[in-house]
Structure 1
Amino acid sequence: MKGKSKTKSLALILFIGLVTIVLSACGKPITEELYSETVSQDVKTTTELTQEDKDFYSMAIEFASSENTDLSSQTVIQIINDEKDRQRKIEEEKKKRQEEIKRKQEEAEKEKQTQLKVLNDSLRVGLLKKSVIFKDTDKWIFKDVINMTLDIENTSDKKVKGFQGLITFKDMFDNDIKSLNVKYDEAITSGTSTTYDGSFEVNQFIKDDIEFRDTPLEKITVEFEMDQIIFDDGITIKRSDIE
């Protein structure tokens, strides 16, 4: 009985050894196989690789094909790792480009805000006087005429050569009464003020004209939006070029 048991044990050992040799002879792990079309087919079905690694492998093969690159000397794992490195570099370059675009956008926005500040803060406009010459056909005055005097202060640090913009007159509740375009082409030294006299005829069919005519000076406030300013040093800033 003991002899037979030893024989069976020896036979089992020999069998296991033979199976090991046979399995070893069947081939290397797929990750160590050199590239070939057959291996590429095996990569698709193998369980040795994650789906992510299979995707990297496919991208590598596609890229190599587009670049006419010979992969026959590389193993599957080398191909996968090289593709991971390539994709990482692509992502790094993409990130750098995005950061550069963002930097340029921020610089452009900063410059925009700087120029808008110049437009918004270079001049201060106020209403000094407002008077009405009423219609009098005997004096050949066929419409009411509003005369006004604006005070214009150069609050910038440079001499202003000229400007144009929109002045809006508001009531005591900050409601718009009337807006007028203003253009001034006389120099104003930094830190000084000047006056501008203007007038317009009242259209009796336009509510804004009537309201502006009838609103007392002390109840009127002024809002001014610069459209364009020209400095004595030749610099010109236009709102239409910024916004």
Structure 2
Amino acid sequence: MKKSTRNKGFTLSLLIGLMAIMLVACGKPLTEKLYSESVVQEIKDSTEITQEDKDLFGKAVLYSVGSNTDLSSKTVGQIIADEKLRQLKIEEEEKKRQEEIKRKQEEAEAKKQSILKLLDESIQVGLIKKSVTLKDTNKWIFSDVVHMTLDLKNVGEKDVKGFQGIITFKDMFDNDIKSLNVKYDQPIKTGKSTSYEGSFEVNQFMDEDNELRDTPLEKIKVEFEMDQIIFADGDPVKRSEIE
């Protein structure tokens, strides 16, 4: 009877010992294993590691191949933790890069708006007189000629040497009638005005020419878009350089 009890006790101890060994062998977290070829597949099949950590591990392995980095001395957990830090650094660098791009874009836009202001708010153009010389072949005038007097006023903060641009004549409903180039190469001091005489021959086959000839002065509006202006300090400003 006593012998049987001893055998049972021995068997029970042996089972407990085997179970302890198995628990030690199987209970070690996968993250504590050193990197190896076999552990890569274990990571893919693992249910104890989150998908996020699996993705980080995969990125670390790919990076190690490209950068010739040895991972054999690191555990899975260390590899994941290091890769997380590397990704955070990449994100921070990308954030700084995007902020720098945005800063430069804002600087460029501010400079553009400053230049546009110089172009659009330096010279004010108005139409103050309009007359027509009718065709008279006896006087060697073979087309109607429209004569116009423009008022050019320097409303900017700099003296101007000269400028060129496009003046667009509109009807009272703001519909475009005709556009003409304007080039003026005489100085205009800030706050001062000067007149500009211009004319063009009417092409009787062009509706815009006929309409501008026939529209009364008081029903004509003008818009002026500066192409280039040269200031007295010698700085030229061109629309083509910013648009």
**Structure 1-normalised TM-score?**
0.92
Pair 1:96-2:101 in alignment: no
Deviation at 1:172, TM superposition (A): 1.3
- Write out aligned runs for 1:86-235 (5 A): 86-235=86-235
Q: Hey, what's the Cα distance between the residues in 2 that align with 1:26 and 1:218?
A: 97
Deviating beyond 4 angstroms after TM superposition, the runs of 4 or more aligned structure 1 residues are 4-14
Q: Deviations over 1:193-232 (max 9, x none)?
A: 0000011111111111111111111111111111111111
Deviation at 1:26, TM superposition (A): 4.6
Deviation at 1:108, TM superposition (A): 0.8
Aligned partner of 1:65 in structure 2 is 65
Q: Hey, what's the Cα distance between the residues in 1 that align with 2:96 and 2:17?
A: 57
Q: Hey, what's the Cα distance between the residues in 2 that align with 1:156 and 1:106?
A: 25
In structure 2, give the amino acid aligned to 1:20.
A
Identity of aligned residues (%): 67
In structure 2, give the amino acid aligned to 1:162.
G
In structure 1, give the amino acid aligned to 2:43.
V
Task: Give secondary structure in 2 for the equivalent of 1:71.
Answer: coil
Aligned partner of 1:76 in structure 2 is 76
Aligned residue pairs total: 242
Task: Give secondary structure in 1 for the equivalent of 2:84.
Answer: helix
Q: Hey, what's the Cα distance between the residues in 1 that align with 2:142 and 2:25?
A: 114
Q: Hey, what's the Cα distance between the residues in 1 that align with 2:153 and 2:25?
A: 95
Q: Hey, what's the Cα distance between the residues in 2 that align with 1:232 and 1:101?
A: 35
In structure 1, give the amino acid aligned to 2:175.
N
Q: Hey, what's the Cα distance between the residues in 1 that align with 2:103 and 2:119?
A: 24
Q: Deviations over 1:132-176 (max 9, x none)?
A: 111122222221111111000001111111111110111111111
In structure 2, give the amino acid aligned to 1:93.
E
Deviation at 1:5, TM superposition (A): 10
Unpaired runs of 5+ residues, structure 2, are none
Q: Hey, what's the Cα distance between the residues in 1 that align with 2:185 and 2:65?
A: 68
* Cα 1:158/1:9, change in 2 over 3 Å: same
* Cα 1:26/1:169, change in 2 over 3 Å: closer
